Structure 1
Amino acid sequence: MSSSNTITTEADIIKADGIIFYQIWCYSMFTFGIIGHTLSIYVFTRTVLRSNPCSRYFLASTISGSCVVMITIPLRLLQLRYNINVFTNSIIVCKIVTLLLNWTRAQNAWFTAMACADRFLCSSASTTLRGFSSLRVTYRTIPLAILIVGLGYIHVPIYYQINTRQQTCVPIPGIYQTFVGVWNLVEFSLGPPIAMLYFGLGTVKNVRQSVGRIAPNSIQTLTQTQIQQQRRRKATDRQLIQMMFAQCIVFILTASLPSVQYIYASVRANVTVDAVQSAKDSLFSSIANFVSLSVPCMSFYLFTLSSKLFRNELMKLFNDSWRPKQINTTGINPSRKN
C-alpha cells in the first residue's frame, strides 16, 4: 500500500471516529439536557427559591440552556452526522440561524455571570450594593442582558454568507473573519469566565469579612421567628453560592477550549499540513466547540451535585408523585366536627 493511500485511510478513520463522537455526544446531551432543564425549571420555581434574585438568574440561564439543547444540538447533529445542512438552504436561514445559535450560547454564559454578580452584591458590606440584589432589579437586568447580548451579534446577519464550495455558513473572508474570531473569544470564551472569576473571588472575600461584622448583641433583639428566617435565608444563600461556584469552575474549564483552539489555528494558519493532520485539526475544533456547550446542556447535574437545597427541592417532586393517597378506612368524614 502506498504512503498516499495510507494517509487517506488514516484520515478517513479519524473522520469516522469524529462522526461517532458527534452522534454519541449529541444524543446524550439532547436527552440529558431536556430532562435536566425540565427538572431545573421545576426546582427554581418552588417557593423557597423563586423569591431569591440569584435563582431568577439561574432560571433564566436554564431557559437559555434549554434553547441550546433544543436548537443547537439537533442542528449540529443533522449537519455533522446526516449531512443535512439547514444553514445553506437560503441566505436568510444562514444569517438568522447563526445569529440565534451564537445568541443563546452566549446568553446562557452571561446569565451565570450575572448570578455571580448577584451573590457578590448580596454578600457586600455596603447597604447600597446589597440593595441591587433584589427581584425588582432582576425584572430589569434580565431583559436588558438579553438585548445587549443580542446587539453584540447584530453584525452576524450583515456579514455572514454561504460558502457554496464548502456548503457552510461563514463570515466573509478578510478582516471581518479575524474580528469574528476575536469577538467570540470576548463574548463567550473569555468575557463571562473573567466576570465569574472576579465576582466569585469577591464573594469569597465578602463572606469572610462578614464573619467579623456580626454583632452578638443584635441577636438578642430578634424574635425566634426572625432568627429562623435569617438562618433559612443564609442557608439558601450558601447553597446558591455553592451552585454558582460549581457552574463557574466547569464553565471556565470548558469554555476555554475554543480559545485554545483559536490560538492554535492562528499560530498554524500558514503551515501546510497533510490530510491526516487536517482531519485531526478539524476533529479538535469540533470537540472543543462541542465540549464548550457542556454547561448549557448539563447545568442541572452540576446543581444537583453541588447543592443539598436543590436536591431536597427536587426530591419533593418525586415524593409528591410517589406518595400514595391516604385512604380513610374508618368511614368517618374528617371534615365533620365532633
Structure 2
Amino acid sequence: MSFVNVTIDELNDASSKTILILSLFSIIPGGIGLIFNILVFSRPSMCREPCAAYFFWSTCFSLIYVLILQPVRVLAVSFNIDQANYNLGICKIEFFVFYITRSASSWFIVIACIDRFLHSSANAHFRQMSSLKIAKIVILITSIVIILLHSHMLVYYEISYSSDQFGNIIPACFGRKGIYRTFIGFWNLALYSFCPSILMLFFGLLTLKNLHQHRLVIPVNFETNRQVRRTDTQLLRMLIAQVLVIFICTLPISIIQLYSSFTLNVVKNTLRLAQENLAARIASELTYFAHSSTFYLYTLTGTIFRKELSKIIRQYCRFNHNRLNGIHDETHRMSVLQKSQKTQTHTNHP
C-alpha cells in the first residue's frame, strides 16, 4: 500500500472518530445544559423579561438541533446510516429542518440584542417596544419569516451523485448543482454566520453606549436603578459571550461551503477529497457547539442566571428531601400498625 493510500485511510479514520467524540461531548453535556436553560428561562422571575423569552425560544430550537438532528448526522457521518441519501422526501425535510432550527436559534439571539438596546435606550418610545407582548408577536413573525426564507430548499435540494472521501461515487443529498449550490453557500454565510454575528455585535455596542450614558445621568447610590442596571449588564454579558461563540463556531463552515461551491467543477484526487472531508466535518461539528454550549456560557457570565439555577436545584433537593421523609413516615406508620395488629391478635387468642 502506498504512502498516499495510508494517509487517505488515516484521514478518513480520523474524520469518523473525531466527529463521534466531538458529538458525544456536544450531545450529552449540551443536551443537559439546554434542558436546564429551558427550566431557568421558564422561571416566573425570568419569563417576565422579553429578553428571556428570546433566550427561551432560541434554546428550544437549539434543543431540536442538538438532540434530534445532530444524532441523525452522526449516524450518517460515522456509521454511513443516512436515509436522506436514498429518499428524496427525507432529503428535503431533513436539511430544511436542519437549517431552520440553527438559523432560528441564532436570530432569536440577535433579537435579544435588539431588545436590550431598546430596553436601555433613553428614548421612552424605544423602551416601550421592549415588552413581553411585543416579544410574543416578534417570535411568531420571526419563526414564519425564517421558514419562508428557507422554503427554496424544499424545491432545490435533491439526491445527486458525487465522490466520497474514499473516491467512490455515491448518492448524497445536496443543493442542485450549478448556480443554486453557489447561492446556498453565500446564503448560509449571510443568514447563519455573518449577518447574525454582525448585528449582535452592533446592537451590543449600542447597548453598552446606552448603559454608559445611564451611569452618567442616574445617581449611583440609587438602589433600584442600580439593581436594574445590574440585571441589564448581566443579560448583556450573556449575549456578548454568545455572540463570540456563534461567530467563532459558524464562520468556518460557511467559508468551507463557499470553497466547495467555487471548486465544484475542479477534478480532485482521493487525497484532496479526504482532506476536504475532514476539514468540512470538523467545521460542521463546531456549529453544534455554538448551540450546545449556551448553558455553560450563561452560567459563567450571568449572575442572574446562576441565581435562578441555584433556586431550581434547591427546590429539587427540597422536594426529594420531603419525599424521602414522607416515605419514611409512611413506612414507620405501617410498621407501627402491623405491630399493633400483631399485639391485638396475641391478646385475643392467648
| TM norm structure 1 | 0.87
Partner of 2:71: 74
Instruction: Answer yes or no: is the 8 Å Cα contact 1:95–1:160 preserved in 2.
Output: yes
Partner of 2:48: 51
Give the alignment partner of residue 197 of structure 1, picking from 197, 201, 224.
201
- Answering whether residue 170 of structure 2 is matched by residue 166 of structure 1, we say yes
Q: Separation in 1 of the partners of 2:92 and 2:255? A: 26
Once the two structures are TM-superposed, the CA of residue 232 in structure 1 deviates from its matched residue by: 3.6
Instruction: Answer yes or no: is the 8 Å Cα contact 1:7–1:275 preserved in 2.
Output: no
Once the two structures are TM-superposed, the CA of residue 234 in structure 1 deviates from its matched residue by: 2.8
Partner of 1:185: 189
Q: Separation in 2 of the partners of 1:63 and 1:86? A: 25
Structure 1 residues 179 and 263, CA gap change in structure 2 (3 angstroms): closer
Q: Separation in 1 of the partners of 2:121 and 2:150? A: 33
Q: Separation in 1 of the partners of 2:75 and 2:11? A: 19
Runs of 4 or more, structure 1, over 6 Å off, are none
Give the CA RMSD over aligned residues: 2.2
Give the alignment partner of residue 212 of structure 1, picking from 209, 213, 216.
216
Once the two structures are TM-superposed, the CA of residue 268 in structure 1 deviates from its matched residue by: 5.2
- Answering whether residue 12 of structure 2 is matched by residue 15 of structure 1, we say yes
> What stretches of structure 2 of length at least 5 have no aligned partner?
162-168, 326-350
- Answering whether residue 278 of structure 2 is matched by residue 283 of structure 1, we say yes
- Answering whether residue 89 of structure 2 is matched by residue 92 of structure 1, we say yes
Structure 1 residues 38 and 86, CA gap change in structure 2 (3 angstroms): same
> What stretches of structure 1 of length at least 5 have no aligned partner?
220-226, 328-338
Q: For residue 87 of structure 1, what is the amino acid of its counterpart?
A: A
Structure with bigger gyration radius:
2
Which has the larger displacement, 240-249 or 289-298?
A: 289-298
Q: For residue 213 of structure 2, what is the amino acid of its counterpart?
A: Q
Percent of pairs with identical residues: 32
Give secondary structure in 2 for the equivalent of 1:300: helix
Q: Which structure is higher in helix share?
A: 2
Q: Separation in 1 of the partners of 2:187 and 2:75? A: 27
Give secondary structure in 2 for the equivalent of 1:161: strand
Partner of 1:317: 312
Q: For residue 124 of structure 1, what is the amino acid of its counterpart?
A: S
Give the alignment partner of residue 240 of structure 1, picking from 235, 247, 250.
235
Give secondary structure in 1 for the equivalent of 2:79: coil
What is the count of residue pairs matched by the alignment? 316
Once the two structures are TM-superposed, the CA of residue 236 in structure 1 deviates from its matched residue by: 1.9
Give the alignment partner of residue 131 of structure 1, picking from 128, 131, 146.
128
Instruction: Answer yes or no: is the 8 Å Cα contact 1:161–1:172 preserved in 2.
Output: yes
Structure 1 residues 215 and 297, CA gap change in structure 2 (3 angstroms): closer
Q: Separation in 2 of the partners of 1:173 and 1:102? A: 19
Which has the larger displacement, 169-178 or 138-147?
A: 169-178
